[in-house]
Chains A and B, each alone.
Chain A
Amino acid sequence: MRPKSGGSYLGVYLAAAVILAALVHFVVVLAAPLVASDDAFQRLAALGDVNATVLLPRADPSQEAFPYGDPAVAMSFCRYDLASGPIRVAAPAGRSFASISFHARRGLVFYSLTDKAAAHGVIDAVIGTPEQVQALAANDNEEDPSRDLRVAAPAPQGYVLMRAFSESPSLYPQAEAEAKRLACRPEPMPK
């Protein structure tokens, strides 16, 4: 059937444009985490080496790197790369609220611990790939199994973030000092 005028095809072109728009939209949304070149992981990577603890600048108007930061909370981080083995993370449980969270590279938080989970004043955990966690568990002494908290990471790269709450502005430097004591060290694999 031949349309009477060119205008009759308008609907077809509009529909095609809308379908294309929808496709573009979904592709961009799904691909964003995979191609984001300026996400938190990239911004953190520019600040410190793997396993190095770096204190983040306070959330105030002079810094524009990490939005939605809390000016009352001191933050530090260390990046990890499990390709060379599991990592033991230790953070001091301060006088106020403190927590550590484990972030995979593409913007997913996969675990967190607060000072409530601390033993002897230290929040402590071992992160590894699922295979590394399995290998560590397989090597446990059956009589006296390790009390380590082992967390399997969904991706080999990511970062550990520590938050230390300051109860007043004058205590902020103390919270920063606590955040600086976050430690990420390679954990030996069983032979």
Chain B
Amino acid sequence: MIAFLKILLTMAAGLGLGLFITAYALSGTSPFDSARVGPWIVSAHAGSMEADPYTRAIIERSGQIPLANGEGIQMIAWTDDAGRMLNSRCVYSVGPRVPAAHYWTLSLIDRRGFPVGNLAARYGFRSSEILRSGGGDFVITVAAEVQPGNWLPIGAAGRFGLALRLYDSPLGATAGEIDRSAAPRIVRTACE
């Protein structure tokens, strides 16, 4: 009887542990398909036939429509350049350049990948509407409070992410093709 209970307990523990690990593994980006460019994470094969099982499971589970590799590249950051989680109580400056692309956008997302509501109804910036310095460099200030220049509001308290999308880019999404110095820096300038 005790042996039976032990076996039952073992199976329950195994099942529970397996599901827990799976839920954790499928909540982020695929462990086999995430190239890092500074704080930016690129899922190189999400938009191709070569997507690994983890990438496919993550895509299917979240309901997202992946950007095809031929259309563009999506880069996501959850931390600043120093590796600290992005936090609504801080101010970040993002810039001054992005990797080569015909168009790009920088948007703020919540942990599930959705835009965050804010009073300015500003969810992101397009390369075609941004204020730039004479040399073409730019700074986007990510902050909860109103900022001069390109202000990307943080609409809700807590953690958030930044999504950089490069459309019609000559770069492949494969690791190493995107130069660290070409990706925008995310610098924490102040915290409450």
Most chain B beta carbons < 10 A, residue from A13, A32, A59, A103: A32
Residues of B within 8 A of A83 (CB): none
Given known contacts A33-B57, A72-B124, A97 and B167 CB-to-CB distance under 8 angstroms:
yes
* B-facing residues in A35-63 (Cβ within 8 Å): 36, 38-40, 43, 59-63
Query: A17 near B13 (CB under 8 angstroms)?
Result: yes
Given known contacts A19-B14, A70-B105, A109-B66, A32 and B60 CB-to-CB distance under 8 angstroms:
yes
Query: A107 near B22 (CB under 8 angstroms)?
Result: no
Query: Residue on A with the closest CB to B129?
Result: A168
Query: B105 near A67 (CB under 8 angstroms)?
Result: no
Number of residues of chain B lying within 8 A (CB) of chain A: 61
Residues of B within 8 A of A40 (CB): 59-60, 63-65
Most chain B beta carbons < 10 A, residue from A40, A59, A68: A68
User: How many angstroms between the C-alpha atoms of A62 and B155 in the bound complex?
Assistant: 13
User: How many angstroms between the C-alpha atoms of A63 and B115 in the bound complex?
Assistant: 9
Residues of B within 8 A of A61 (CB): 114-117, 123, 155
User: How many angstroms between the C-alpha atoms of A36 and B3 in the bound complex?
Assistant: 37
Query: A114 near B64 (CB under 8 angstroms)?
Result: no
A135 interface residue, CB < 8 Å from B? no
14 further A-B contacts with Cβ under 8 Å, apart from A165-B126, A167-B103, are A9-B6, A16-B10, A21-B13, A24-B15, A32-B26, A40-B65, A61-B116, A69-B65, A71-B115, A107-B60, A108-B51, A109-B51, A154-B49, A166-B126
Q: Which residues of A contact B (CB under 8 A)?
A: 6, 9, 13, 16-25, 28-30, 32-33, 36, 38-40, 43, 59-73, 75, 96-97, 99, 101, 103, 106-114, 116, 154, 161, 163, 165-169
Q: Which residues of B contact A (CB under 8 A)?
A: 2, 6-7, 9-11, 13-19, 21-22, 25-26, 47-49, 51, 53-54, 56-57, 59-72, 74, 102-103, 105, 107, 109, 112-117, 123-124, 126, 128-129, 155, 163, 165, 167-168
Q: Sample 25 A-B pairs with CB under 8 A, ordered by A number.
A: A18-B14, A20-B14, A21-B13, A21-B15, A29-B53, A33-B53, A33-B57, A38-B61, A40-B60, A59-B123, A60-B117, A63-B114, A67-B113, A68-B113, A70-B107, A70-B163, A106-B60, A108-B49, A108-B56, A109-B49, A109-B51, A112-B68, A161-B65, A163-B71, A168-B128
